[in-house]
Amino acid sequence: MLAPIRRHVVDPILALLQQGLAPRQLALCLALGAGIGMFPVLGVSTPVLTLLALGLRLNLAAIQLVSWLIGPLQLAMIIPFMRLGEWLVGAEAQPLTIEAGMQIMAQGVLQAIVTLWDAIIHASIGWMLIGPAAIYVLYRLLIPVLERALQRLKTAPPN
């Protein structure tokens, strides 16, 4: 079970370190990809991350890989972010589930935006409380992990 994770996640990250990507820069790619990848409005994270990667000269492949991997968690976190946003603004909880949201999305993007506008706003507010802090914490945690990984790569005998 761990072999696919190593092959599709860990090995590409280690390859980026071997190719010369600095641990701090890679940590920023991974943290932004994970944090913004969880933004609770479908279709927003990819263009935002692309613009960030280009603007900050980050590795686009790394940032998008993490965003893609975090996709299932993004879906799972929509309702919790929405509930947090409702609580923060004192709004009444909307009777919405992931299944109902997906059925509304099947009617078309414009219809979904109109129907789910309050839910989108509340979920975004909830993410704004958690997302930036999560990105920062993840970034700070990843730096020493990636620095140690780079040291191990440098001292490991060649294959």
- Which pLDDT score is estimated for 68? 92
* Boundaries of domain holding 77: 2-155
Q: What is the pLDDT of residue 159?
A: 62
Structure tokens, 62:
């790394």
CA-nearest of 133, 135, 144, 141 to 23 is 144
Total domain count, the chain: 1
Task: Quote the pTM value.
Answer: 0.86
pLDDT tens string 68-124:
999 999 999 999 999 999 999 999 988 887 788 778 888 887 888 888 889 999 999
Q: How far apart are the first and last CA of the chain?
A: 24
- The answer to whether the beta carbons of residues 126 and 83 sit under 8 Å apart is yes
| DSSP per-residue string spanning 50-103 | HHHHHHHT--HHHHHHHHHHTHHHHHHHHHHHHHHHHHHHTPPPP---HHHHHH
pLDDT at 112: 80
Tokens of 58: 């980050």
- Contact present, 96 and 82 (Cβ < 8 Å): yes
